[in-house]
Amino acid sequence: MTQPLVIGPTSTASIPLMLFSPNSFAIWIKEQPVLTQTWVSQHHIDKQGHCLIPNSEGQIHLAIYVTEQADSFWACGELVNQLPQGQYAIQGNQDQIEKAAFSWGLGGYRFERYKKSHNPLPQLVVPSEEIALKVNRFIRATSLTRDLINTPAGDMMPQHLAHTLSQMADEFGGQLNQVIGDKLLEKNYPTIHMVGRASAHAPRLLDFTWGDENAPKVTLVGKGVCFDSGGLDLKPGAGMRLMKKDMGGAAHVIGLAQLIMAHELPIRLHVLVPAVENAVSANAFRPGDVITTRHGISVEIDNTDAEGRLVLCDALSEANHDHPDMIIDFATLTGAMRVALGTELPGFFSNDDTLANEITQSGLDREDPVWRMPLHQAYEDLLKSEVADLSNCATSPFGGAITAALYLQAFVDKDIPWAHFDVMAWNNRKLPGRPVGGEAFGIRAVFDYLQRKYQ
């Protein structure tokens, strides 16, 4: 976005914008002059729609919008694309204004790195700079997540993810360390190296820290597979088409980290991103190979297209190191989760009921729903290998999201609360405030939980 779509009070004359539910609109319109009632009646917006009301000189002096979702976080997600250019001053209580502004900003999101839009969008004026700052923090974090996912793999390889985190370190006073290429073997991150070694873009572990070292420790881990060809178990063309989004887990934790730092939550933040490209070359890893992970667990490779859990397991093992209060990971891990819950409801697993219940409630409160899935321990048997401690794929395709989560659980210390999010990271259809393309799922839910817990 070339301009902020949500701004604080301005000296420029703004058009008042009133937001109504159908019931509140019915009450309001009865109290208006006959001329206004007649004008509005021609627009048939009793249930849904907007209307621009002119004054006696023919100039717009009021905009009204009727929606059954007036109190939703997504109320104005499409309105920003329907109103003509200009400034509109939202009316209402603070909660309604903040929600409307949030969806206004995200509804106006455009990915313009390669193709610019020449149609300027209207701005929403909110009553205070404080509200504008608060709302724009969420807009910015979500837009960052979307931008990272939407960027083609040719411009979003491990080094580019590193650059993003480096910029964040400069902005917020964090520290970024990297383990790159063969150094991964020296530092004992064998699975990250194995998955990424066939690429011309060196694999790396991005290790980002921020905050007071004595504060409560929160560790975020994000799958950073910048492109997934499937490796030697090559994906078909249709399955490979959107694999630029396979670093969506990394994009999620980066966006979440930005939210945490912008709000200055009093925590010690640790972000780990295993960043690789799963490519095909003479040195690509093979089905049947066995690798001993950082955790000391040996893993037989059943399928090279189940690479996400391989890079994550070394990162999760490292996440245990300073014994954080919790570990939360995000990954575009399984198609099985999409089959179970669809593309718009992210499932998550947790070894801690309190953590899971509170994140779920935060998701409901922030209209960022997440759904807890079962870590059904009996399915661990499906990960057995004849030649290693584990296989990276289950012997059955059924319950694939569960078996993937059980694989990851083996690398998390049992006494550390942990949540694993298996997300789509992509909107397949356009919804208010949510255009087709990269999307952040669950980061507002997790942030709200962290904010309640630590601020």
| Catalytic site includes residue 235 | yes
Task: Spell out a b/e string for 213-223, using b for 16 or more CB atoms within 10 Å of the CB, else e.
Answer: eeebbbbbbbb
Q: How far apart are CA 359 and CA 446, in angstroms?
A: 6
CB 283 within 8 A of CB 197: yes
Complete DSSP assignment for 176-215: EEEEETTHHHHTT-HHHHHHHTTSSS--EEEEEEES-TTS
d(CA 49, CA 64): 8
Catalytic residue status for 414 = no
- Catalytic member of 137, 140, 235, 372: 235
Q: Which one of the listed residues 217, 244, 268, 309 is annotated catalytic?
A: 309
The DSSP H or E segment spanning 336 is helix 335-341
In contact, 210 and 239? CB cutoff 8 Å: no
- Tokens for 381? 């048997």
SS3 content of the chain, % helix, strand, coil (to 5): 35, 20, 40
Please name the residues in contact with 186: beta carbons below 8 A apart, sequence gap of 6 or more: none
Residue labelled with tokens 């298996």: 422
Rounded Cα distance between 425 and 403, Å, is 20
> What is residue 168's three-state secondary structure?
helix
Rounded CA gap, 440 and 336, in Å?
19
Distance CA 205, CA 333 (A): 18
E strands of 98-188, at which residues? 123-125, 175-180
Q: What token pair was written down for 127?
A: 């009553």
| Residues 6+ away with beta carbon under 8 Å from 345 | 369, 370, 371
Q: Could you give the residue numbers annotated as active site?
A: 235, 309
